[in-house]
Amino acid sequence: MTWLLALPTLLAAGLALVTPAVLRALPAPIDEPEANPYQRLATPTTALIVLGAAAVAGSLVVIITPATAPAWLGLAGPAVLAAVIDARTGYLPKRLAQAAWLLTAAGLLACVGWLGVDALVRAGLGALAAGGLFWVFWRLGGGFGFGDVRLAPVIGAASAVVGWPLLAGALMLGGLLGVAWGVAWRASGRGRAFPYGPALVAGPFLALAGSVLVPGTH
């Protein structure tokens, strides 16, 4: 069991090591083709932030729901890095969202043998539900960027494989955190638009931590 608890930190360390290279390799956002905002984040400080965030996220999963841990690889890895980038730049890189999809799908297939096909179906439905919900918000002009829409299926799949109550909690807590952050962002005079990705990614982990206190949510 000790090695299992150490695994999230080892994976987080690997992610932190490649973070500067990933940031330098990411293409510039369409809005800023001449000044790539990702490259200025390729620093040891960013790598340390990613290390801490990914280690905490992965450890929560391994401690609380070890059987579904492979399904959370995309969320605790590329999605965490994307959230850190969004917090600093206001952009959620498409390539990191795609990497999160692939890791989530691979993780789901890896654990379907002991979770059963029902869990895989539930994860697929969760991905569709979360992705569809954020697509509607985006189409209605609710302040969400399309990067949030791309990440939403990962949140839906990882949360739903644990259970529908966890998915509901993830969306609710992510939304509440996003509202609080948005109010603070606008109160500071930094404009109307704010990065929602960090709250979106934090939601499932907050719900997972809360599920320990609320029986029957996972």
For 182-209, what is each residue's pLDDT tens digit?
777 777 766 556 788 999 999 999 999 9
Nearest-angstrom CA–CA distance, 185 and 134: 21
Please tell me the pTM assigned to this model: 0.92
Is the confidence at residue 7, as pLDDT, over 60?
yes
Q: What is the rounded CA–CA span in Å between residue 47 and residue 217?
A: 33
The pLDDT value recorded for residue 140 is: 85
pLDDT in tens, 102-146: 999 999 999 988 999 999 999 999 999 999 999 998 888 766 788
Triad 81, 28, 92: Cα angle to 5°: 35
Is the model's pLDDT at 213 over the cut of 80?
no
pLDDT given for residue 96 in this prediction: 96
Tokens of 79: 């999605």
Whether the pLDDT of residue 53 is over 80: the answer is yes
* Range from 5-9, 93-97, 183-187, 188-192 that averages highest in pLDDT: 93-97
Q: Which of 31, 77, 73, 34 is nearest to 54 (CA)?
A: 77
Look at 46-50, 164-168, 193-197, 205-209 and tell me which has the smallest mean pLDDT: 193-197
Q: What SS3 state is found at 54?
A: helix
